[in-house]
Chain A
Amino acid sequence: MSRMIVVDPAKCTNCRMCELACSLVKTGAFAPSRSRIRVHVFAEEFKHIPLACFQCTAAPCVKVCPAGALAQDDGLVRFVAEACIGCRMCMLGCPFGVIAFDSATGVIAKCDTCDGDPECVRFCTPHALEFRESELADVPKGRDFARRVAEAAKG
Chain B
Amino acid sequence: MLFGLGCLGLTGGSWGATLTVTVLMPDGHPLSGVIVTAHPSAGPAHAAEPLAAVMDQVDRAFAPDLLVVPVGSTVAFPNSDSVSHQIYSFSPAKRFQLPLYRGKAYPPVVFDQPGLVTLGCNIHDEMLAYVVVTDAPLYGATNKTGSWSAETPVGAYRISIWHPRIRDEAKYLEGEVTVGDVGSGTLTFHLAKLLKPAPLEGRPHSWDSY
Are both chains from one complex?
no
